[in-house]
Structure 1
Amino acid sequence: MTIDMSQFFQVFFDEAEELLAEKEKVLLAVDISSPDPEDLNAIFRAAHSIKGGASTFGLNDMTEVTHILESLLDKIRKGEMALTAEHVDAFLIAKDILKMQLDGHRLGTPVDQDAVADVRMLLQSLSQDVIPVKAPVASFDGKSGPHSNSANETYTTCFQIKLPALTPNDLSAIISELGLLGAISKEGTADDVTTLVLRTNETQDDIIAICSFILNPDDLQISTQDLQGANTPQPNFQSEDELGYGFFEPIESMFSSDSGSTVINPVEPNVTTNLLTSKTEVKNPIKKEVEKSHASQEASTIRVGIEKVDQLINLIGELVITQAMLEQRTQELDPIANERLLSSVSHLTRNTRDLQEAVMSIRMMPMDYVFSRFPRMVRDLATKLGKKVEFVTHGASTELDKGLIERIVDPLTHLVRNSIDHGIELPAARLQAGKHEAGKLSLSAAHQGGNIIIEVTDDGGGLHREKILAKAKQNGLVVSDSMSDSEVWLLIFAPGFSTAEAVTDVSGRGVGMDVVKRNITAMGGVVDIRSAKGLGTTITISLPLTLAILDGMSIKVGEEIYILPLGFVVESLQPTTQDIKEINGKGRVVKVRDEYLPLIPLYECFDIRPKFTKPSDGITVIVEVDGKKAALFVDDLVGQQQVVVKNIESNYRKVPGISGATILGDGGVSLILDVSALLRSAR
């Protein structure tokens, strides 16, 4: 039987990436002066899990790093060595190296071998800084092993472990791994059965978990003796709760429960690996350690490729269009003669809408996917700048469309870096200003109507109005001292704008804030700034929950129907002739409640023959983008509807003033207006 191992490699890669993320999360939160044993166990198990999986798949470079890392972690969790800030820094560096190695195997990206060697030497040196409490023994031949306990250390349980015939390498690996749990000794080998004795404070589940990487748990025989009580034999022990470390779930359903199966490792063709049988349930101990509250949720989730979700969403979009066509066709029928048909179509409409909302929710991801990237960055950047920063998040469970979540990472990274570099002061300056020496930086997310509101807040020095105005004048921007604070703050989004006195590798080049605003505007979002000198700054981003579906207003120009995103629409009205004014060389404006707005005739933008050429005969729709208003001159308003957005660039080409397209109920294609581009061209 030929088995495709690629799917199992992918499971290992995904699980290892999750474990590395969890490890970093726990490391950043650990109390160095008084670490929680549960946290230390969670970090150890993460390293041990990755080591076991990497060893199984023959990824020896990762195995070597995790072996040294695991040994050092084991000393710390057993109290043989005190946890220090230097340890935490080394563990974080090791996490980065393992991630680089993981990407090298999965994506073929380059791996810096010098950096790998450096972190191995660093971990080795830290391991040797303190003399171990347990004296190591070099050989397994006698009654003592590499972790024989000293006279002042006691163990609660003695396990007798009988192993089937194994290769010398596999036997050595198992003895080495079990030695991490306590004092290991080898009693001997008879009839191809090797007997080990392990004195430990750990559980049988831990022994099963370690051995299951190399042999079938059915082949194990374990008996226990309470070192303070009677012997309790438990032959053929098999755990139902915690076998393995989460890398083999897909294998369970592929093999018979009657016998194990052997596959050839594609990385090292001469190495064979015994896989777990289908009656062996595999779980992930790091989840148990770190996310006990999510245990039931974890058991009810499946991993699905994003391309499958996108395909499903596309099909639902087509279904919505078909349903709209049916609804439009049935409007021409006699409601009395076709009552049952119309009732069925109405029922189909409700079900289609519910199905559409349910499928769209699949693409929604919690903001924690974004927020979890920042604690490490904040820690490293604050250390580099000599600042102290307390980082907090709110609303990490708030959901946003996956497509937007990936695009919001870079803008938020710019904002967070700027807050640390420019906003939060040095500890001495904060103390002098009567503040706590550690600045506070917070990220929050919350739903508000059909939008998500993301805020980046710091309690630093705030924006300096005079500096910004002076720099704006120096850059040739049109400014005045009478400008409101909100208008002045928006100047920092001008291209090339920076008030930094020195250019550093952190910020100050003036390339960032304009890109932030451009990216957020491209996502249909809006940026706002609130700041008070000496008290801090809050930058607010408002984004639509999804770009796959939008609420639109159908407008008609000539024989064409366009979709105007409802989020930009302020109001619509029919102006009088007196309200229209001509400005020499600059087009026309329309007066709306003592405010003159530029008039944009859509028929001129798209070169089509309109029904009306006089604004007083048609309709003007007032739209607003980034605080600037304009009036779109159209022939008529058709109605309001939800539309499924289709990408026009991948199907045709980029069209100025158009952001996408949709299919109407009659099967015709309608273009979605890019309001921001229209206003820019008008200016």
Structure 2
Amino acid sequence: MTIDMSQFFQVFFDEAEELLAEKEKLLLGVDISSPDPEDLNAIFRAAHSIKGGASTFGLTDMTEVTHILESLLDKIRKGEMHLTSDHVDAFLAAKDILKMQLDGHRLGTEVDLDAVGDVRMLLQSFVQDDLVPKASAAPSIAHISRSEEVQEKYHHCFKVTFKEVKEADLTLLISELGLLGRALSEKNADNQDLIVLHTNGSEDDIVAVCSFIVDADKMKIESVEVPIESAKHQPSEDELGYGFFEPLDAMFPPDEKAEQAAALKAEEEKRQAQENLVNAAKAQPKKEAEKHAATQESSTIRVGIEKVDQIINLIGELVITQAMLTQRTQDLDPVSNERLLSSVAHLTRNTRDLQEAVMSIRMMPMDYVFSRFPRMVRDLAHKLGKKVEFVTYGASTELDKGLIERIVDPLTHLVRNSIDHGIEMPATRLENGKSESGKLSLSAVHQGGNIVIEVCDDGGGLNRERILSKAKQNGLVVSDSMSDADVWQLIFAPGFSTAEVVTDVSGRGVGMDVVKRNITQMGGVVDIRSAKGFGTTITISLPLTLAILDGMSIKVGEEIYILPLGFVVESLQPQHEDIKEINGKGRVIKIRQEYLPLIPLFETFNIQPKHTDPANGITVIVEVDGKKAALFVDDLVGQQQVVVKNIESNYRKIPGISGATILGDGGVSFILDVAAILRSVR
């Protein structure tokens, strides 16, 4: 039987990407001056798991990077090396390289080998620095011989014998087992490779480590009672004094050495006891959280998004079928068909509950988006010489997966602009009586059927005069009497930028117009609030999902269209005197002292209407981006929730149409693209 390994590769790719994201999050939050041991252990476990999986699937390029990374992390978590900001920068760079290598294996994208080599050299430089002897440290360890140190530190000794192991794998095994204690290699009487391991771990720990590299049936573990001297090995550079000093054992007489060893051991036990008390106090709440997280993980499964989409499509068809049944039974006698009508009503309730439950599966927490910004903010602020405190609120707020993927780029533009244009340099902030670190926040909250996302900074705010001046240079129609809200909207004009210097961060005038266009295409709106000297807040309001739509059914001629309810302000039947003709410009309608353009939908879609006089039909007032217009239709049919079907993937793009749905009578109805219709009129 042939096993399809592709599914296992995909599982590794998904888990490795999650581990890399978690590793980056932990590194960005670590306290360099006093790192939490649990955080260091978690970072180490992430690197170790990625290395194990990469080794299992033969991804040697990732194994080589993670091996050096793991060695450094192991030294840091054991207290053999102090964590520095340079370490964090190097580990973050290594994370980027591993992500690039992962994408190379999964997606076939190009891997920059020069960048890989640079990071490996950077990590190796830390290893080399740690090997440089420190004269001041020599007396503190000189009194303990290597054999005594190992015997006192480790309580178990195992002999692990391997069959038919490759030399490269043996080297990797020695390195892996070395993480459990002290590993030394030799040959047995049958010329088989074996490793003598002094450790405080168990046989299960050895199996867990080795199983990434060799099969369990090709290894044998024996517990032995032998002193360290019985294991044949070459003395290390440490034991030989790095070639510059005499062996440390020769520097002290046996009696003096024993006394100093006992004193040092007592001091070490005292220090260790104090450290254990501190660590226990720190770790207690975190262990409870990890216990809860483990319980949560055990109750979840990984499901492909295509399966979820298939279920949602089937539920959509069920909703349509249920609507058909409801419409077919409307004309039945309620007395003679009571049981049938009761069953249909029950089916309607169950269908709605099932629909809401299945739609919730597509919902993802905003943390999926928010988690990618701390690293970007850190790197960009460092590049610009600014200090930025980044905080998030409402990361657990859920949004449809399709919208989450599309909101990433607009938010990225807004966050970068806040750092580049909004937050001032530290010196400028101090001069203005602010703290030298600017604050940038990203929040998400549910409001009714929408999600509201805000990007807020406490920087210098938008410059009204500079925006107006730039708008005039670009030929935009502006006036000094414009309200602040209208002035702020000018920054969304194509090609608009107030940056005095063009850099790779901003200043080319591309981005903000794309932000607004993308948000509008998702059925959302964007708003700006700003105060000079106090900062800027950009608010985005989006529907929770695009798969289900609350709409108003309108009739034009014999056609029924769906008008998204979110754009509807009101509907009315106008009077003749309220309709005015503008020569060559069409008609407008007067609504409470405000003149709005009148858009006859029968002209937009070139169909024969029931009414050509607006006074005989219905006018629906709609609003997009603060701009209003009046749609002239024949009749209002009703309000209903519809399942959105994509038009472009099944046919082609139709001007003024954003999608389609199937009505209760089986007919197809188009969903109006209100924003596109209003743009065409303007």
Shorter-chain TM-score category?
0.7 to 0.9
Aligned to 1:385: 384
Q: Displacement of 1:223 after TM fit?
A: 5.3
After superposition, what is the alpha-carbon deviation per residue over 1:64-120, rounded to whole angstroms, capped at 9, x for unaligned? 111111112222222222111111111111111111111111111111111111111
SS in 2 for 1:129: helix
Aligned to 1:158: 156
Identity of aligned residues (%): 81
SS in 2 for 1:454: strand
CA distance in structure 2 between the partners assigned to 1:647 and 1:390 by the alignment:
42
Given that residues 160 and 195 in structure 1 are in contact (C-alpha distance below 8 angstroms), is that contact kept between their aligned partners in structure 2? no
SS in 2 for 1:128: helix
Matched, 1:351 2:350: yes
Q: Which runs of no fewer than 5 residues in structure 2 stay unpaired?
A: 135-144, 228-285
CA distance in structure 2 between the partners assigned to 1:622 and 1:362 by the alignment:
35
- Superposed, 1:471-620 pairs within 5 Å as 471-620=470-619
Aligned to 1:46: 46
RMSD (Å), alpha carbons: 2.5
Given that residues 444 and 452 in structure 2 are in contact (C-alpha distance below 8 angstroms), is that contact kept between their aligned partners in structure 1? yes
Given that residues 150 and 198 in structure 2 are in contact (C-alpha distance below 8 angstroms), is that contact kept between their aligned partners in structure 1? no
SS in 1 for 2:539: strand
Aligned to 2:124: 124
Which has the larger share of helix? 2
* Stretch deviating more after TM superposition (36-45 or 89-98): 36-45
SS in 1 for 2:129: coil
Given that residues 599 and 631 in structure 2 are in contact (C-alpha distance below 8 angstroms), is that contact kept between their aligned partners in structure 1? yes
Instruction: Letter of the 1:610 partner, please give it.
Output: P
After superposition, what is the alpha-carbon deviation per residue over 1:115-164, rounded to whole angstroms, capped at 9, x for unaligned? 11111111111111123789xxxxxxxxxxxx968849952532435446
Given that residues 160 and 197 in structure 2 are in contact (C-alpha distance below 8 angstroms), is that contact kept between their aligned partners in structure 1? no
Instruction: Letter of the 2:124 partner, please give it.
Output: Q
Given that residues 155 and 199 in structure 2 are in contact (C-alpha distance below 8 angstroms), is that contact kept between their aligned partners in structure 1? yes
After superposition, what is the alpha-carbon deviation per residue over 1:405-446, rounded to whole angstroms, capped at 9, x for unaligned? 000000000000000000001111111111111111110001
CA distance in structure 1 between the partners assigned to 2:146 and 2:3 by the alignment:
42
Instruction: Letter of the 1:519 partner, please give it.
Output: N
CA distance in structure 2 between the partners assigned to 1:150 and 1:88 by the alignment:
35
- Superposed, 1:7-406 pairs within 5 Å as 7-131=7-131, 151=149, 155=153, 157-163=155-161, 165=163, 167-169=165-167, 170-185=169-184, 189=188, 197-200=196-199, 206-215=205-214, 221=221, 292-406=291-405
Matched, 1:467 2:462: no
SS in 2 for 1:81: coil
SS in 1 for 2:389: strand
Pick closer, same or farther for the CA change 1:350–1:596 going to 2, 3 Å. Answer: same
CA distance in structure 2 between the partners assigned to 1:180 and 1:203 by the alignment:
13
Q: Displacement of 1:592 after TM fit?
A: 1.2
Pick closer, same or farther for the CA change 1:148–1:377 going to 2, 3 Å. Answer: farther
Pick closer, same or farther for the CA change 1:4–1:576 going to 2, 3 Å. Answer: same
Q: Displacement of 1:331 after TM fit?
A: 0.9
Instruction: Letter of the 2:52 partner, please give it.
Output: G
SS in 1 for 2:616: coil
CA distance in structure 2 between the partners assigned to 1:222 and 1:12 by the alignment:
32
Given that residues 573 and 616 in structure 2 are in contact (C-alpha distance below 8 angstroms), is that contact kept between their aligned partners in structure 1? yes
CA distance in structure 2 between the partners assigned to 1:432 and 1:129 by the alignment:
42
Given that residues 162 and 194 in structure 2 are in contact (C-alpha distance below 8 angstroms), is that contact kept between their aligned partners in structure 1? no
Given that residues 41 and 289 in structure 1 are in contact (C-alpha distance below 8 angstroms), is that contact kept between their aligned partners in structure 2? no
CA distance in structure 2 between the partners assigned to 1:612 and 1:623 by the alignment:
20
* Stretch deviating more after TM superposition (198-207 or 14-23): 198-207
CA distance in structure 2 between the partners assigned to 1:150 and 1:462 by the alignment:
66
Pick closer, same or farther for the CA change 1:150–1:682 going to 2, 3 Å. Answer: farther
CA distance in structure 2 between the partners assigned to 1:341 and 1:522 by the alignment:
43
CA distance in structure 2 between the partners assigned to 1:312 and 1:613 by the alignment:
44
Q: Which runs of no fewer than 5 residues in structure 1 stay unpaired?
A: 135-146, 228-286
SS in 2 for 1:621: strand
Q: Displacement of 1:166 after TM fit?
A: 5.0
Q: Displacement of 1:547 after TM fit?
A: 0.5
SS in 1 for 2:156: strand
CA distance in structure 2 between the partners assigned to 1:7 and 1:162 by the alignment:
32
Aligned to 2:237: none
Aligned to 2:662: 663
CA distance in structure 2 between the partners assigned to 1:618 and 1:222 by the alignment:
92
CA distance in structure 1 between the partners assigned to 2:306 and 2:619 by the alignment:
42
SS in 2 for 1:500: coil
CA distance in structure 1 between the partners assigned to 2:288 and 2:97 by the alignment:
23
Instruction: Letter of the 1:614 partner, please give it.
Output: D
After superposition, what is the alpha-carbon deviation per residue over 1:354-408, rounded to whole angstroms, capped at 9, x for unaligned? 1111111111111111011111111110010000111111111111011100000
After superposition, what is the alpha-carbon deviation per residue over 1:462-494, rounded to whole angstroms, capped at 9, x for unaligned? 001111111111111111111111111111101
After superposition, what is the alpha-carbon deviation per residue over 1:167-187, rounded to whole angstroms, capped at 9, x for unaligned? 254444323211122222458
CA distance in structure 2 between the partners assigned to 1:202 and 1:22 by the alignment:
27
Pick closer, same or farther for the CA change 1:666–1:148 going to 2, 3 Å. Answer: farther
Given that residues 598 and 630 in structure 2 are in contact (C-alpha distance below 8 angstroms), is that contact kept between their aligned partners in structure 1? yes
CA distance in structure 2 between the partners assigned to 1:288 and 1:650 by the alignment:
49
Structure 2 length-normalised TM: 0.86
Given that residues 462 and 536 in structure 2 are in contact (C-alpha distance below 8 angstroms), is that contact kept between their aligned partners in structure 1? yes
Given that residues 157 and 224 in structure 1 are in contact (C-alpha distance below 8 angstroms), is that contact kept between their aligned partners in structure 2? no
CA distance in structure 1 between the partners assigned to 2:309 and 2:571 by the alignment:
36
SS in 2 for 1:42: helix
CA distance in structure 2 between the partners assigned to 1:194 and 1:157 by the alignment:
23
Instruction: Letter of the 1:179 partner, please give it.
Output: G
